């Protein structure tokens, strides 16, 4: 039988919560549950730093997940993960039908806007936190007016912080069908 003592679940004094878990009751079961931004059984909780970690943890449905990057203020936050095309893509912009105005000021892009389930811009600070904790690729999916899909992938992608105006600092080699071979960093001047 499990019970919680001082924030830890105890089964015969051999089980304790991970430091990244909390002892609580969910669905009438009191045990250790991993905190937001972590995944595991409560005894072991692994940090989910991006959508690739979410995919690797076994979540293969596109949707909204909580991550906690290793760079940044330390608070977990929601992201939309696209699990198509190999999975683990962190979506930072989505345009669907033009219902959200993207002609915005600096603060709007810094803080993010729109609805994560529809049209949105994530938040430049969050994008900085994600892209500066590891090496990342960027994939841009486009659909023309006739409904033909195109994509562009660059094997390296990173942005700087607000002090450097969120400037692209790394863009790698192009691959895709979109015909956008000009390095994105040249568009950043």
Predicted pLDDT of residue 185? 47
Is the domain of 118 the same as that of 165? yes
pLDDT at 44 over 60: yes
Q: For position 183, what pLDDT does the model report?
A: 52
Look at residue 20 and give its three-state secondary structure: coil
Tell me what pLDDT residue 12 has.
Answer: 55
Q: Same structural domain for residues 48 and 105?
A: yes
Q: Are residues 22 and 54 in the same domain?
A: no
Per-residue CA distances from 28 to 24, 25, 31, 75, 133 (Å): 10, 6, 10, 28, 38
pLDDT top residue among 37 and 180: 37
Nearest-angstrom CA–CA distance, 169 and 41: 38
Residue 38 has φ and ψ, to the nearest 5°, of -130, 160
pLDDT reported for residue 172: 86
**In terms of domains, do 71 and 8 share one?**
no
Task: Give the list of residues 6+ apart from residue 1 with CB closer than 8 angstroms, or none.
Answer: 11
Same domain, 49 and 19: no
* pLDDT tens figures, 71-114: 887 789 999 999 998 889 999 999 989 999 999 999 999 999 99
Distance between CA atoms of residues 103 and 120, nearest Å: 12
Domain count, the chain: 2
Report the CATH number at residue 98: 3.90.215.10
Q: Which domain holds residue 124?
A: 36-188
Q: Are residues 23 and 95 in the same domain?
A: no
For 157-169, the pLDDT digits (tens) are 999 999 999 999 8
30 and 117 co-located in one domain: no
Asked if residue 168 and residue 105 are part of one domain, the reply reads: yes
Q: Give pLDDT, residue 180.
A: 61
One domain, residues 1 and 66:
no
The per-residue pLDDT for range 118-161, each reduced to its tens digit, is 999 999 999 999 999 999 999 888 888 899 999 888 999 999 99
Tell me how crowded residue 105 is: count the other CB atoms within 10 A of its CB.
7
Shared domain for 30 and 40, answered yes or no, is no
3 and 48 share one domain: no
Residues 30 and 41 in one domain: no
Nearest to 4 by CA among 60, 42, 55, 48: 42
Q: What is the C-alpha to C-alpha distance for residues 37 and 124, in angstroms, rounded to an integer? A: 19
């Amino acid at each position: 039988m499990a019970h919680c003592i001082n924030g830890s679940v105890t089964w015969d004094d051999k089980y304790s919560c991970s430091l990244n878990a909390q002892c609580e009751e969910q669905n009438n079961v009191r045990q250790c549950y991993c905190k937001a931004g972590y995944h595991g059984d409560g005894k072991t909780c692994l940090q989910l730093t991006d959508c690739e970690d979410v995919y690797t943890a076994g979540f293969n449905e596109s949707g909204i997940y909580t991550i906690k990057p290793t760079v940044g203020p330390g608070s977990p936050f929601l992201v939309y993960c696209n699990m198509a095309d190999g999975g683990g893509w962190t979506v930072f912009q989505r345009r669907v039908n033009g219902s959200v105005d993207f002609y915005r000021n600096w603060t709007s892009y810094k803080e993010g806007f729109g609805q994560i389930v529809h049209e949105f811009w994530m938040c430049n600070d969050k994008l900085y936190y994600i892209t500066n904790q590891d090496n990342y690729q960027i994939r841009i999916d486009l659909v023309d007016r006739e409904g033909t899909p195109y994509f562009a992938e660059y094997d390296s992608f990173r942005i700087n912080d607000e002090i450097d105006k969120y400037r692209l600092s790394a863009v790698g080699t192009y691959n895709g069908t979109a015909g956008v071979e000009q390095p994105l960093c040249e568009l950043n001047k």
